[in-house]
Chain A
């Protein structure tokens, strides 16, 4: 088996060895369950910039050792929340608790949190070694211990050879690894990352995502990670908090926010989805029958908060749709016509029209081609479909 070369441990074979030896290094051994002990709590946090409300009455708990991503478009308040946790910004109202203690009045330098910025924010006038030694000096450690810990931190990010270089002499990826080492070397209570991979190219970004995830698992770090990249959030996090307009639309495991979006915003922001409008006809046993404008009825999973007679959206992920030539009694089936079909390497993207309603289906690589104009049935099970209340309707309290 070919393993990717990780910067976390020197040499590929050592990674494999470590994985076999210690349960702590084995990803499946780590508890993936929701938090055991809450470590950080945002309690009714509101932040105004002048008349502009950036964060609105927000509650959020983060467990010890948890990796939580704050995901949202720019201006949704996620970075502001992180800046408030770091102490760079003060909430207009509300309390931030860390380990049970309110930290609102604790200055940044006493909060003991490592921060990694998108712009790396390395000290340009210091060498790589001096950069990493900085937080240790601030803590009054002895020279020998500082040197020792800097050596280990540099080993961890595989930059030992760069110790005497200045940040400007390193590539972007190397600089970000120095920033990471600097934020971890003093073993902070929490590591905060503000779009740390945003400035890197795609390939490097994906490598770093896996590396940071590894690091999180090995060291049991509590990480709060801000990103606007949904695939990054899904790849790395224990839980994802989806932000929109200063509020959390939904928080859950990557699987939950992807498979069971609570709101239309979440369904559309994370991945691609088909949204179909309809009226709830009946609800029974966790399933709802929704009548579409065309008269067709679709059975979908539903999780409470939706009343009969309500106008709702149905969300169906494109990859959950199968195309069949004949009606399948076990599934929801919509009569459609193929309008376009694009081969995209790893999948076949088929655009359909169900009456006047456009649908998208992503089919496996082995699927046959569909000529435009072909009549097919778009089939999907009730479990692959979610009912979403429109925002003005009786939206469930997703954020809490």
Chain B
């Protein structure tokens, strides 16, 4: 009984530890005060209004959406292609390649950022959307690879062989069988890529110019300049968007799964 109680207490503490920062910041989004601090004098939506009307914040939100969408598309296509390629047993050094694709996950972002800046400068891509999208894609691809590789591993290879024997050329097998079956993995990979791009700060600091200031970057700089509760409002937006995306993924996956779930 004592053990059970201490287990419970430990779990509660661990969860608190994880969500405490969120609990600290979220109520401040609704403060009427002009500084980001407790106590909250009264509730107000003024900082959300600020977020959507102040030029800097509005541009940051639009930039985040542009870069996030670009990154999602590029990373999903590249990551899915890589996963498909890594599936082929005939590829030499398959394990090595898989590790290489996952490397950006563990390489320090600062190192990547410096390298990226030097490289992009050579191609004249610094201070451009393309540059930021490329940089974000590098760190987003591993998430897509992991997610899609997992989905592909769940496909019985014989299903694809059967499709081929029934008269489907390789491209059709991919379009009609492989891709639909891997779709849940591709979808969650895409969502992870978008989320990665959304909160990526370090790389953005290195490669983005003033015109590509993203929401995360804007939060970072404004917390140093003026401690405006607009930051808390932006944070609230982030959380809401993340939860919404998460829900979409969970729902779409369960719909896809239901379609082929065993009944017995």
A residues near B, CB below 8 A? 86-88, 107-115, 117, 119, 121-125, 134-135, 138-139, 166-169, 171, 179, 182-183, 186, 192
Contacts of A109 in B (CB 8 A): 164-170
Interface residues of B in 143-163 (CB under 8 A from A): 156, 158-159, 161-163
- Whole-angstrom distance between the alpha carbons of A169 and B159 in the complex? 17
Which residue of chain A has its CB nearest to the CB of B165? Answer: A115
Cβ contacts under 8 Å, B176 to chain A: 123, 134
Which residues of B lie under 8 Å from residue A110 when comparing CB positions?
167
Choose among A114, A123, A169, A179 the residue that contacts B163 (Cβ–Cβ < 8 A).
Answer: A123
B158 and A117 form a contact (CB under 8 A): yes
B260: contacting residue among A124, A134, A138, CB under 8 A:
A124
Among B161, B169, B170, B180, the residue within 8 A (CB) of A125 is B180
Chain B residues contacting A139 (CB-CB under 8 Å) are 167
Instruction: Kindly provide the distance from the CB of B50 to the nearest chain A CB, expressed in whole angstroms.
Output: 47
B159 touches A123 (CB 8 A): yes
| Pairs A–B under 8 Å by Cβ, sample size 14 | A109-B164, A109-B167, A109-B169, A112-B167, A117-B158, A117-B161, A121-B158, A121-B161, A124-B181, A125-B260, A139-B167, A169-B262, A169-B264, A192-B165
Beyond the given pairs A108-B161, A123-B159, A169-B262, 7 more chain A to chain B contacts, judged by CB atoms under 8 angstroms and listed by A's residue number, are A108-B165, A109-B166, A112-B167, A134-B176, A168-B262, A186-B167, A192-B165
Q: Are the CB atoms of A125 and B158 closer together than 8 Å?
A: no
A125 contacts B162, C-beta separation under 8 Å: no
Bound state CA distance, A108 and B170, in angstroms? 10
Q: Hey, which chain A residues are within 8 Å of B172, CB to CB?
A: 138
CB distance from B173 to the nearest CB of A (A): 8
In the complex, what residues of A have CB within 8 A of residue B167's CB?
A: 109-110, 112, 135, 138-139, 186
A86 to B167, CA, bound (A): 11
B181 touches A125 (CB 8 A): yes
CA gap between A186 and B180 in the complex, in Å: 24
Given the known interface contacts A119-B156, A122-B159, the answer about A111 and B165 at a Cβ–Cβ threshold of 8 Å is: yes
The one of A114, A122, A167 that contacts B165, using a Cβ cutoff of 8 Å:
A114
List of A residues within 8 angstroms of B261 by Cβ: 168
- Minimum Cβ distance to chain B for residue A357 (Å): 47
Cβ–Cβ < 8 Å partners of B224 in chain A: none
- Nearest CB on A from B185, distance (A): 13
Given known A117-B158, A122-B159, A167-B260, contact A108–B164 (CB-CB < 8 A) = yes
CB of A88 within 8 A of CB of B156, answer no
Determine whether the beta carbon of A138 is less than 8 Å from that of B180.
no
Q: What's the nearest-Cβ distance from chain A to residue B174, in Å?
A: 12
Shortest distance between the CB of A244 and any CB in chain B (Å): 25
Q: Would you give the shortest CB distance from B178 to chain A, in whole angstroms?
A: 11
Asked if A124 meets B159 with Cβ closer than 8 Å, knowing A167-B260, A168-B263, A169-B263, the reply is yes
A-B pairs, top 3 by smallest CB distance, nearest first, are A138-B167, A135-B166, A121-B162
User: What chain B residues lie within 8 Å of A112 (beta carbons)?
Assistant: 167
Question: Which of A108, A111, A119 is the one whose CB lies under 8 Å from B158?
Answer: A119
Which residue on chain A has the smallest CB distance to residue B155?
A124
Q: Which residues of A contact B122 (CB under 8 A)?
A: none
When the two chains form the complex, which single residue of A119, A125, A134 contacts B166, counting CB atoms closer than 8 Å? Answer: A134
In the complex, whether B177 has a CB less than 8 A from a CB of chain A is yes
Please determine whether B156 and A107 come into contact, CB atoms closer than 8 angstroms: no
Complex formed: what's the CA distance from A192 to B172 in Å?
22
Among A114, A115, A182, contact of B161 (Cβ-Cβ < 8 Å)? A115
Q: Are A123 and B177 in contact (CB under 8 A)?
A: yes
Q: How far is the CB of A366 from chain B (nearest CB, A)?
A: 45
Instruction: Give the residue name and chain of the A residue nearest to B258 (CB).
Output: A166
Residues of A within 8 A of B4 (CB): none
B116 to chain A, nearest CB (A): 39
A108, A171, A179: which has the most chain B beta carbons within 10 Å? Answer: A108
Contact check, B162 vs A166: say whether CB atoms are below 8 A apart.
Answer: no
Which chain A residues border B181 with CB–CB below 8 Å? 124-125
| Contact A186:B159 (CB < 8 A) given known A124-B260, A168-B263 | no
Contacts of B177 in A (CB 8 A): 123
State in angstroms the CA–CA spacing of A179 and B166 once bound together.
11
Chain A residues, CB < 8 A from B259:
125, 166
Question: What is the CA–CA distance of A113 and B263 in the complex, to the nearest angstrom?
Answer: 32
Partner pick for B162 among A115, A168, A169, CB 8 A cutoff: A115
Question: Which residues of B lie under 8 Å from residue A179 when comparing CB positions?
Answer: 162
Closest A residue, CB atoms, query B167: A138
Q: How far is the CB of A241 from chain B (nearest CB, A)?
A: 21
Provide the residues of chain A in CB contact with B262, threshold 8 Å: 168-169
